[in-house]
Structure 1
Amino acid sequence: MLSSMLKDHRVKQRHLKDAQEKRRQEAVSSLYKFNEGIMASINSRVSAAYVNQCQLDNEMKQLEVQTSRFNKLTTQWASELNSFHNALKEIGDVENWALSIESDLRLVTESLEYINNKNNSNTSKNS
């Protein structure tokens, strides 16, 4: 009887051990699947972040190129505007010069007409 009880106890222990081993393997398998799922999720997010970073880098490079072009164009426009401004100042100076010459010539013309009229009136009085 004692030996049969011992035998039953060992059989139960083996069954318990087998059941415990089976549950341990199921737990390990579940943990492995869980780990794979988590890693896939993390990797997809990291991958998306990397793709986004690459796109941002490319867009930043394009923006730098466009900014450089814009700066060159702005410098060129500023230079042309400055040249145009100087040309306008020269035109203004020429216009002032022309007005000054015109004023001087009017004065000379008026003076000559005055002298001519005075001479004509003197010659008519002398005759």
Structure 2
Amino acid sequence: MSDSLSQLLKNHNQQQAEVKRQNEQLKKNAVQSTNELTDSLTEYVNEGVTEIFSKQKELEQLSRKLANQTTRYANQTQQWLTLVDSFNMSLKELGDIRNWAEVMEHDMKTVMTTLEFVHQGK
């Protein structure tokens, strides 16, 4: 009976050792799977973050370019407004000269008429 008890104990110990070995292997597999999942998730997140940073950099560059173009267009628009104001002033001056010439012509005609009247009166 002692042999059979000893055999049972030996079998039990072997089964326990086998269960322990299987549990260790399962634990090792679970840790490895968890590490692989973590690595995959980290890589996925990093790709997203990298893409976001890339897009942010591109947007910043486009924003600076747009600001520079806007400044250039504002300056050019100001130059055009100055040119138009100058042109309007020139037109006004021409109008003033024309008016002055018409007044002078009228005055000269008046002087001529007066001189003709004086000359005929003699």
Q: What TM bracket, shorter-length normalisation? A: 0.7 to 0.9
Aligned positions of 1:30-41 closer than 5 A: 30-41=33-44
Which residue, 1, 12, 16 being the options, matches 2:15?
A: 12
CA deviation vs aligned residue, 1:37-75 (integer Å, no higher than 9, x gap)? 111111111111111111111112212221221122122
Which amino acid in the other structure matches residue 32 of structure 1? N
Q: Percent identity?
A: 31
Give unmatched runs, 5+ long, in structure 1: 121-127
TM-score scaled by structure 2?
Answer: 0.86
Aligned-pair CA distance for 1:108: 2.3
* Runs of 4+ in structure 1 over 4 Å off: none
Q: How far does residue 112 in structure 1 lie from its aligned partner after superposition?
A: 3.1
TM-score, normalised to structure 1's length?
0.83
Structure 2 unaligned regions, length at least 5: none
Q: Distance in 2 between matches of 1:99 and 1:10?
A: 130
Say if 2:105 is the partner of 1:102. Answer: yes
| 2:64 equivalent in structure 1 | 61
Larger displacement relative to structure 2 (41-50 or 104-113): 104-113
Aligned residues: 119
How far apart are the structure 1 equivalents of 2:29 and 2:43? Answer: 21
Secondary structure, aligned partner of 1:72: helix
